[in-house]
Amino acid sequence: MRSRYTAFALGGLGDYLVRTWEADAIDPALTAEQLDRQEQQWLRLEILDAHENGAKATVEFKAHCRPFGAGPAVTPQVLHERSRFRRRQGLWRYIDGIIDPPPAAASRNAPCPCGSGKKAKRCCLR
């Protein structure tokens, strides 16, 4: 995730972005040359949540960017996405992502939102 963000931010690394994109998930019309181009100035990456389960992972992030040439007075735009990744041959590859994702479903094993300190399944979900 961080390396792909960095590749987007630096530009000129379209080959790497294609290589770390699931071959059956990438838009066949999308080329490394297109990915080489920086569409905007990327300012910072904020990782909100990450889960890894074997060869699958999800990462929720906010990437802050500003159109090229816009001064610091321009409010940055925020791309908020929850991405799916799959690891094959030791390399994590991007599958797809949901823009402005709804909050992840609360887990029955997570602390109960009522604040009791018990797991939800042993509290209000019992």
> 74 vs 110, which CB is nearer to Zn ion?
110
Plot region of 109 (φ>0 → left; ψ -120 to 50 → alpha; else → beta): alpha
Strand, coil or helix: what is 99? strand
Backbone angles phi, psi at 57, to 5 degrees: -150, 150
Q: To the nearest whole angstrom, how small is the minimum distance from the Cβ of residue 101 to Zn ion?
A: 25
> 56 vs 122, which CB is nearer to Zn ion?
122
* Chain residues that interact with Zn ion, rule: CB under 5 A: 112, 114, 116, 123-124
Instruction: Tell me the helix, strand and coil percentages in the chain, rounded to 5.
Output: 20, 40, 45
Q: To the nearest whole angstrom, how small is the minimum distance from the Cβ of residue 49 to Zn ion?
A: 22
> 78 vs 114, which CB is nearer to Zn ion?
114
Q: To the nearest whole angstrom, how small is the minimum distance from the Cβ of residue 51 to Zn ion?
A: 23
